[in-house]
Amino acid sequence: MSSASLKTRRTSFVEFFAERAIRASGFVAIAFVVLIFLFLLLEGLPAITEVSISNLLSTRWYPTESHFGLLPLILGSVLVTLGAAIIAVPTGVLAAIFVAEVAPRWLREILKPMIEVVAGIPSVVLGFIGMIALSPLVRVAFNAPTGLTAFTGALILAYMALPTIISVAEDALDAVPRSYRDAALALGATRWQTIWMVTVKAARSGILTAIMLGIGRAIGETMAVMMVTGNAARMPLSLDSLFMPARTMTATIAAEMGEVAQGSTHFHVLFMIGIVLFVITFIVNFVASIAIFRQTRRSARLLS
């Protein structure tokens, strides 16, 4: 018994293939991102040869007459997203602070699932409610000719970005070590002072990530925006543009792709818009992820 060799090797086929499959699946995630970008390029790049650059950079989007100016759409997205960010960032961060730092346990147990429910509401449902309930309110409140405005879109988008901002920011606040707070409290700071001078400061890179992810979500949102912004492709140059209809890049794709002939110039330009969206969200998420990495690295250093 004791002299038996240690060198008997036994390989199970199931194990062999399962491990190979799992290792290969790591590539799949990367492959999908590459594949998505490739297919956008494949269908979108022809637009550059079919439409002059000056046309693409013009201020008029009117595809039936071959006006493919992307500027109103890009600015429409910027306007609505910026509006949403201005509303959602302070609201989301403050709500996260309340949930993570102030609310008693029982209240947190109620608030957190409710915020999860907000994240789960389909965007068409919010768009639908935005159309029939929110837009009349906006029209009356601002005495505008229509309630389907960039502002209405910004409100709905802000609400859709909130769950992301709140939950990520709350995680960041939660991750701040208990001892930081205790130290500040022991030095005579009130909880309020501790929150702002210690906890929020320590969690700031995570909060930044939360904000970036929330904005990323807002830029990419499609259905609700299409339903409540009125979809007029116009340059939002004056101050009152916020209370006029606007049109985003996402809504343009969603509204027009169904009606264009496959392979037409219009078809290719819509994919071009997809490339723009892909690149923008890639950058936003990349920046957000750098903040995540930095945060984990720092906490890893603290713990080791």
Candidates 78, 82, 139, 278: give the one binding another protein (CB under 8 A): 278
Helices and strands (DSSP H and E) totals, the chain: 15, 2
Task: Work out how close the CB of 285 gets to another protein at its nearest, in angstroms, rounded to a whole number.
Answer: 4
Say how far apart CA 126 and CA 119 lie, in whole Å. 11
**Would you say 213 and 164 are in contact if contact means Cβ atoms under 8 Å apart?**
yes
Task: Work out how close the CB of 71 gets to another protein at its nearest, in angstroms, rounded to a whole number.
Answer: 19
Closest Cα partner for 136 from 125, 148, 124? 148
Nearer to another protein, 86 or 240 (CB): 86
Answer yes or no whether residue 95 interacts with another protein by CB under 8 A. yes
Answer yes or no whether residue 85 interacts with another protein by CB under 8 A. no
Within 161-190, which residues bind another protein (CB under 8 A)? Answer: 162, 166, 190
Nearer to another protein, 108 or 204 (CB): 108
Answer yes or no whether residue 295 interacts with another protein by CB under 8 A. no
Is 11 buried (19+), middle (13-18) or exposed (0-12) by CB count in 10 A?
exposed
Candidates 143, 179, 238, 304: give the one binding another protein (CB under 8 A): 304
Answer yes or no whether residue 159 interacts with another protein by CB under 8 A. yes
Q: Name, in order, each residue with C-beta under 8 angstroms of 130's C-beta and a sequence gap of 6 or more.
A: 152, 155, 156, 224, 227, 228
Candidates 80, 250, 268, 269: give the one binding another protein (CB under 8 A): 250
Say how far apart CA 98 and CA 75 lie, in whole Å. 34
Task: Count residues near another protein (CB under 8 A).
Answer: 95
